[in-house]
A and B are shown apart, each in its own frame.
Chain A
Amino acid sequence: MREVIYLKTNNETGCGLCDATWGKYYKDIDGDNMVFCCSICADIFEEMVRRVKENTGWKSIDYVELHGNYSRGRECTARNGDDTFSYYFRTYSDGKFITFEKR
């Protein structure tokens, strides 16, 4: 049986990426049916998870701490067990990544 690993973030009240409580858009991220405010936030989050895995070689992510916004970009730390990975990213308003760098 496949083990379902739930990806949690510090955004507990609203959208998994920006924490807004407008909209309700669901997307499967690593087996977890996560809620976002819109399809763009969902796509950004999915791409962010893909890039973290690509950079770390992790199979899954337990938790992501996100700080910032669309204008400033987002400073994040992802955790997998005892391992952590800190990074920064910025996107266009349509979700296309401009920057993703290890911090």
Chain B
Amino acid sequence: MKCPVCLEKVQSYHSMASHFLSEDEKSDPGHVMFLNRYISRNRIEQEQLSDNLERFFHMDNGFRNWIIRTFVNRFFGDSPHPFILENQHPKPYIIRGYAMEHHHFLWQWVRSCSYIIGNSDNDDVVQYEIENITSEWYGTNDSPSHHELLLRMGEAYGLNRKDILNSIPLPATESAKEFWSYACKNLSWQEGMSAMHSLELIANRKVLEYGGKFGYFDPSVMKSSEIREEAKEFLKEGYLADVSHSERALIIIERHSDLEMLQNCQAVFMKSIEYFYDYLLARIERGYILENKQ
């Protein structure tokens, strides 16, 4: 297994607890924040920390359910992500910020999927990722790509396609891209898939069934005139596609991994969602910048 903060190899939850306590002595921000957010706000000693870490990572209903539960708690739980709150009834500035930052996300996305293919000798993985790259970036004769729908959404809200394509990602988006590139290029295909495809749960229609307080957006926006048709087309595509995308990926990982690999995938997933958290904040910041709200 690996540390969910620095990905250092550890032998057991006991040694993971020792590692965290050693980093705590140095007041290392990443390790302290993990403990604070996921384990306990108050300092606990080795034995209890070891038990709490084991409880946190225990996959009582399998890997897929653990990933879904942890993701839903982080983004749709008692303190939902600010972008989720804003996206319930998205204002024009949020949609503009979304369009510009998400271009960079998708640019990285297809490269990450390609690295995963390169690291895998499994045909299910290759087929899955090729379908994914096609639908996200290239499209088919029958349907435009998700990226094309994103650009159309941005244009409908006054952005210039060229400006989106030539924009420089905000620092949080750039850091996230760097991590996703590193993870998919250098780690196993299972860890790369865990880093990327778990993120598609963000638009999963079943989030409310999984215990989320909110969905990705309030479905009533699809029937009202509060957002433009281009925004509806974009949101609809992700909303319809991502259930099979994200859950199918998690099933493939689980089918082709032993326990140790799944534990490594948990660590990479935890690190990935921290980058994703800040990337979603960057959509809001970009919206502010485009609106001159800062």
- A residues near B (Cβ < 8 Å) are 14, 18-25, 36-41, 69-73, 90, 92-94, 96, 98-99
Contacts and interface: CB of A to CB of B under 8 A. Distances in A.
Given A22-B24, A23-B28, A98-B288, 16 more contacts: A21-B43, A22-B35, A23-B27, A24-B27, A38-B27, A38-B28, A38-B32, A39-B29, A71-B79, A71-B80, A92-B278, A93-B33, A93-B274, A93-B277, A93-B278, A94-B172
The main secondary structure of chain B at its interface with chain A is: helix
B27 A14 contact: no
A98 B32 contact: no
Interface in B235-288: 274, 277-278, 281, 284-285, 288
Interface in B169-201: 171-172
Q: How large is the interface on B (under 10, 10 to 19, 20 to 34, 35 or more residues)?
A: 20 to 34
The main secondary structure of chain A at its interface with chain B is: loop
Interface centre among A14, A73, A93 (most CB of B within 10 A): A93
Contacts of B41: 14, 18-22
A21 B33 contact: no
Contacts of B27: 22-25, 36-39
A69 B36 CA distance: 11
B82 A38 contact: no
B37 interface: yes
Contact of A20 (B42, B82, B285): B42
